Amino acid sequence: MDLGGYPPKLPRRRALSAGKTTQLQKHESLTLSVKAATLANDHADPLVELDHLPSGLLDCDAAGLGRFLDGPTLIQLAGQREPALFVSVLMHGNETVGWEAMRRLLLDFDVGGGQRSLPRSLALFIGNPRAAAAGMRHLPEQPDFNRVWPGSELPATPAHGVMQQVTARMAERGLFASVDLHNNTGTNPHYACVNVIGNRYLRLATLFSRTVVYFTRPRGVQSQAMAELCPAITVECGKVRDRLGVEHALELVDACLHLAEIPDTPMPMHDIDLFHTVAQMKVPEDIDFAFPPAKAPLVLSPTLEHLNFRELPAGTAFARCGQGQPPLDVRDEWGRDVTRRYFTCEDGELRLKLPVMPSMLTCDAEVIRQDCLGYLLERYDKHLPPRG
């Protein structure tokens, strides 16, 4: 297939390219420690490793996986091509799109009881089935499983050790590409994220969406760890239980399994909308917040998430608040406090001081406390790798 028109359209269950397989080099300087895996913790689940899909596994939804899996599980399935595609699902237990897509896809292949041969070896990592059983991002005694991969800045836990084990296994075997499948809680378009501005990374990302976000924080996410080994992306597939999100995730993984190589040619500017995450917004723990009609020092707009991926002018209101210091903690990618650069309190409203584009704004109070309120983006098209 002529790759000059890459990325190809994503028809379901169709091979997208054929030809010579390219072995991507492992990152030689990757150093790993699994000391955290031995830390004493009653709630720690060791890594389970399998070379097959247990009978009945694909019939279970995310909430039922606990009947088959005791904890984080790495399933390595042999296919026609090497190296393997790495796919992670349920890094957050309440984001089920990845598992729903993978179980539907694998039912078509011989490894799942179907008729087709698996076109490329697959390493499937099922991150947090215990949290999935509870319908939670993570259990109260657990850290966020997508903040504990190599490079994490959080204190070491047994979960760090598990992710280091997974990364070490994949470094040893070599990978073709990595895809981490997620849902959003707010209203967002489907988009991909990269941690490296490189041709193969961007080509892989645009296989899912022309909207691509480059970020360096938060640290300790799966895609940052795997980016040391191969082209790696995180994809955001809309809200939970969105059928189109499941279909889109399925099509992406199916396409990746059929690719013979990922071109190392520059992306034309007209084929991508590249953004850069410049800041993360959190509500400080000592600030109470609410949504109308409730009252609190910070009353967030109930339509906040509809501002996602819209280029907003200065003066746009995010919330009602008192006068003085804006009741947010806004940090740039170096961890510096930039709250007053982006926000001000005027006439009882929390307003933008600069034109900016937000993403992942959510009205889910639990997510706001456990993770963040959202992110601020800037256009980054001028930083695309040069052509020719």
Query: Reduced to 3 states, what is the DSSP secondary structure of residue 145?
Result: coil
Confidence class for position 387, pLDDT limits 50, 70, 90 = confident
**What pLDDT shows up at residue 13?**
36
The Cα 115–Cα 132 span in angstroms is: 30
- DSSP per position, 155-169: PP-HHHHHHHHHHHH
Fold of the domain spanning 3-265? Aminopeptidase (3.40.630)
Amino acid at 144: D
Neighbour tally for 364: CB within 10 Å: 15
Whether the CB-CB separation of 235 and 175 falls below 8 Å is answered with no
- Positions of CATH 3.40.630 in the chain: 3-265
Q: Count how many residues are written for the chain.
A: 388
Neighbour tally for 309: CB within 10 Å: 19
Residues 229-242 have pLDDT tens digits of 999 999 999 999 99
Please name which of 321, 324, 322, 339 lies closest in space to residue 376, comparing C-alpha atoms.
Answer: 339
Residues 309-340 have pLDDT tens digits of 999 999 999 999 998 899 999 999 999 999 99
Across the chain, mean pLDDT equals 90
* Helix, strand, coil distribution of the chain in percent, nearest 5: 25, 25, 50
Whether the CB-CB separation of 293 and 337 falls below 8 Å is answered with no
Q: Average pLDDT, stretch 87-103? A: 98
Q: Produce one character per residue of 212-243: b if its CB has 16 or more CB atoms within 10 Å, e if not.
A: bbbbebbbbbbbbbbbbbbbbbbbbbbbbeee
Beta bridge partners of 89: 126
Task: Tell me the pairing of strands 298-300 and 289-290.
Answer: parallel
